[in-house]
Structure 1
Amino acid sequence: MVMPNRWRASFGPHLLLAVLGGAGPAAAGPPPDVPAAARPPNIVFILADDLGYGHLGCYGQTRIRTPRLDRMAAEGVRFTQVYAGSTVCAPSRASLMTGLHQGHAVIRGNSPRVPLRAEDVTVAEVLRRAGYRTAAIGKWGLGEPGTSGIPTRQGFDRWFGYLNQQHAHDSFPDYLWSDEQRVAVRKGAFSHDLFTDEALQFVRGQRGRPFFLYLAYTIPHANSTARRMDSPGDAPYQGEPWPAPEKALAALVTRMDTDVGRLLDLLRALGIDRDTVVFFTSDNGPHREGGVDPAFHRASGPLRGIKRDLYEGGIRVPMIVRWPGRIAAARVSDQVWALWDFLPTAAELAGAAAPAGIDGLSMVPALLGRPQQNHEYLYWEFFEQGFQQAVRADRWKAVRTAPGRPLELFDLAADPGETVELAARHPDVAARMEELLRTARTESPDWPTRGSPAGRP
């Protein structure tokens, strides 16, 4: 979306950075049998569930051990200002898949269960057309059985996992979905382990053709129905004097860290390490469920808020990207971007064209350490607790927690913890942000702005 010229003038030249580097997308990808040196990179996108900005060692965590993700950050780039698509699961994933922010996406909440439409173009469809073999493994949440929203009808060649996001919160399920078939799961099997095994098997099976693996882990999300943390155990934290839910959560984060390491080790063993871009991030901020207190492990780090908030702790997420030989090691970037930028980023990596009319920008220049075009603004809305909105433009962030409530304005450059409200001191900026809250969105019949759909994800 292009901001009217009056916004460009009002926010000043520091808001908009011209594109000084990075190649534009090409028209089509290579055929599957081209030489390896000429092929575009494999793309792996790992999405954690309810992992907070402060849950990883490389983001300041001191209790929970994450050596493999810390090493991944040391071997690649760690971003400090990346945002989820939403503050809860399904809408965040919809933005990731379609390149649309929540003011334009077809899915804007966990309830009602609206599926992706046949006409929606996903990142998997873009990459499959470019010659990629595509797989989605883990938690989907964007279409119930038989609808247009299931992964195999949205560009994925292979699908294994949970369709329904609430089902995904039972980590010891009776069944999962394999492509479009419901399959029984052996009693006591921990679904996260099944997803890791399936992902490793998929990677081993790709020969001579680029692949896209979307690995959507379900941990460290709580079992919301049973109101507990589902975990096979609390190692290596069994000796810690912590509440049981906090030990279980820490064990889940460390287990996921280990399995990310297994995947990276496999890429190296197969000799495709330097031909594969790996992204790791989370779908939203940390939860207060299953007996967990997010303050115990400082799950949001220095940020205010948690899951279901549009303050930074609810939507700012870790993002680590690794591509040996192309992304400089041990780099830290404060580039501002969001999960809806992944689609155009993947398209450029694949040499493919991104769909017209999306909200995302390619972040390939930022990945490679080149000058990057900035967003004019980032926008979020959330309906579960009434209609909430947030917008970020350059250093300024505005939040409205309910219709009719005063706008809250924060200067994130000076106050990333959103502790000092500035609307009265900067009425001109507040007025511009009010206008963005009005113009950055279109109405949705499924998520009316008065009230919100029933149901808690």
Structure 2
Amino acid sequence: MVCRSLFIRTLEILFFSLCSLIFGIFALTALNEAEDRRRPRVVLLTVESLRDDLVDEESTPHLLRAARTGHRFAGHRAVSGWTATNIVSLLTGLTPFASGVHTRGQSVAQGISPPLAQLAEAGYVVEGLQPFMAMDIYENLGFTINSRGPDPALWLAERRREGQPFFLWYHYVNTHLPYGPEPLPADWPEDAKERLEKVRSQASILHDEVTFSREDVARIHALQRNRIREFDRWFADFWAFWQGSGCGRDTILIVTADHGDEHGERGMTGHASTTLAGHLHEEIVRVPLFIWLPEQFAHLGSTARTGEISSHLDIMPTILARLGIAPQIRLEGRDLFAAPKEPHRQTGSRPWLGMTASGGFAEPDPGRMRYFEYACLQGNWKSRLRVLAGGTELFALYDVTRDPGETIDLAASRPDIAAAHRKLLRSAIESRVQNPIKSGPHDRNAEEGDGMLGWLRPSRSGSYSYEELAGSFILQWSGAPDRDYLLDYRAGNGRKALTGTMAVRGAMKDFGTIDRRYWQTWIVPNSPFRLRVREADGPGRSPWLELEARP
């Protein structure tokens, strides 16, 4: 009888222990899910070529209406004169001097632990949605590309349903040149129409193709305003989804631009990659910045440093501070919502530094950069230092408060300020990281394939339409799926032709879903394409594949 009672008691203990274990597992799972729901999500929306002085009620009424519930940082600046260098700084917090990414064929060095990789390790889904993000200049940044489609609202709806924390980078591209398709106003002078037709219809306008006049500036403003208004309507729909889906309750939203565009102020239109004459004047680097914080950070409104000079270097420190994650690499930026440690210090005392390559992505010969331009802003003084390939230096100093157009060089009359700026710039230049550039043979006489690698998709050279490629651009070749390859390419002809080499892991390069507008704006004008794949560590190579994109 005693044994039976003891047996029953043992079963009861085991039963209650098992129940406790199961309850604990479910409780822990629920706790983790609740913690996931509490962890802030992040959306970084970058807008192509959007200068700050065109973000106004005339062009962006919906954006400014939404900004009433967020924070606008009035002194924000990009750190370079073209897209990729700026994006790398936004996504890593590295300065352009430290990233070493200044043209195609370069990427951040492997082996570092970028902030986005830390987010992924912490359980975040970290993704971008667009085909251009598959370029090698965006490698090693810690995000993956979701090639299922570029609709950010659909992506956000799916992630919210899953309940997993996320970081999304989306780049709005349709504010880039060309600023058409609307016809030019009939009452514009005929000589102006001849120049401005290029602005309306071309994705790049080289610095020596045409010289724009001072009278053209307002006209070019008007042309890009059409594209900015289109973005504003897109943002209105996005904002309606944002509010209706509840994103604002738990998600940080950051809206900025990669860089601005010149609109004829120096005789050109565009930026480094479209003019091949990059610079760091204010029309290029002054860009908007808006940040919306979720409810849990409402108390930070009083510490937002909206009136100070900020830069793209500050975005990642601001994000990491909200997520409670300490960076594993050294970041030069600061948290834009942190109360200043020294409140008595003058606003704007921290210098802003910028760096741009002469031609950005489109540099004619990436291995022989024609020049680099550097800039420093401290208080009301801004300097520009251009260092030519032969070592010649061109320096200028401006008082941007009295001379916002940067037309009067005061270096000779203020040698003390000039010397201080030169010292700051020289120190930054000496710290530069110089990453190697992937390259390969691209001329038509380069050796043909040896039969070891063959093309599977497309399987042959030829002319292809958007419909024939089913809205996607995938290159696939025979070869081992676990090997490293080098993809040599040449796009276009003449002075605007681009050559380069991309590293690829596996026997396929998927550029994701491409919409028709992207096809017409970027693929067709840069056609034809000449492609060849090589084994990175072996003799195998494919024949050259020649593709033409039809409108």
SS of alignment partner, residue 73 of structure 2? strand
| 1:335 and 2:308 correspond | yes
Aligned to 1:313: 283
| 1:393 and 2:383 correspond | no
Work out which structure has the larger RCO, using CA pairs closer than 8 Å and 6 or more positions apart in sequence. Answer: 1
C-alpha displacement of 1:324: 5.8
Q: Among 200, 217, 228, which residue is 2:153 paired with?
A: 200
Give, in whole Å, the separation in 2 of the partners of 1:74 and 1:217.
22
Which structure has the greater CA radius of gyration? 2
Give, in whole Å, the separation in 1 of the partners of 2:124 and 2:413.
52
Give, in whole Å, the separation in 2 of the partners of 1:264 and 1:116.
33
Aligned to 2:129: 137
CA contact (8 A) 2:107 2:435 kept: no
| 1:361 and 2:348 correspond | no
In structure 2, relative to structure 1, the CA distance for the partners of 1:397 and 1:68 (3 Å cut) is same
Give, in whole Å, the separation in 1 of the partners of 2:185 and 2:408.
40
CA contact (8 A) 2:88 2:141 kept: no
In structure 2, relative to structure 1, the CA distance for the partners of 1:361 and 1:238 (3 Å cut) is same
Aligned to 2:67: 73
C-alpha displacement of 1:116: 2.7
C-alpha displacement of 1:55: 2.3
Aligned to 2:3: none
Task: Report matched runs for 1:350-429 at 5 Å.
Answer: 350-365=323-338, 376-384=350-358, 386-403=371-388, 404-429=392-417
Give, in whole Å, the separation in 1 of the partners of 2:230 and 2:256.
16
Aligned to 1:218: 173
Alignment length, in residue pairs? 355
In structure 2, relative to structure 1, the CA distance for the partners of 1:238 and 1:42 (3 Å cut) is farther
User: TM-score, normalization: structure 2?
Assistant: 0.56
Structure 1 unaligned regions, length at least 5:
1-29, 161-177, 180-193, 223-227, 449-453
What do the CA deviations read for 1:392-436 (whole angstroms, capped 9, x no partner)?
233322112345445322233444332433323332221111111
Give, in whole Å, the separation in 1 of the partners of 2:421 and 2:113.
30
Aligned to 2:231: 256
In structure 2, relative to structure 1, the CA distance for the partners of 1:98 and 1:356 (3 Å cut) is same
Write the letter of the residue equivalent to 1:40.
R
CA contact (8 A) 2:309 2:352 kept: no
In structure 2, relative to structure 1, the CA distance for the partners of 1:31 and 1:345 (3 Å cut) is farther
SS of alignment partner, residue 229 of structure 2? helix
Give, in whole Å, the separation in 2 of the partners of 1:156 and 1:446.
20
User: TM-score, normalization: structure 1?
Assistant: 0.66
CA contact (8 A) 1:337 1:375 kept: no
Structure 2 unaligned regions, length at least 5:
1-29, 201-219, 359-369, 438-494, 499-551
CA contact (8 A) 1:396 1:410 kept: yes
In structure 2, relative to structure 1, the CA distance for the partners of 1:239 and 1:429 (3 Å cut) is closer
Give, in whole Å, the separation in 2 of the partners of 1:380 and 1:456.
28
Give, in whole Å, the separation in 2 of the partners of 1:400 and 1:204.
47
Write the letter of the residue equivalent to 1:358.
L
Give, in whole Å, the separation in 2 of the partners of 1:371 and 1:265.
41
SS of alignment partner, residue 419 of structure 2? helix
Aligned to 1:267: 242
RMSD: 3.9
Write the letter of the residue equivalent to 1:335.
E
SS of alignment partner, residue 399 of structure 1? strand
Q: Among 123, 138, 142, which residue is 1:155 paired with?
A: 142
In structure 2, relative to structure 1, the CA distance for the partners of 1:299 and 1:356 (3 Å cut) is closer
In structure 2, relative to structure 1, the CA distance for the partners of 1:131 and 1:32 (3 Å cut) is farther
CA contact (8 A) 2:99 2:108 kept: no
Give, in whole Å, the separation in 1 of the partners of 2:112 and 2:55.
34
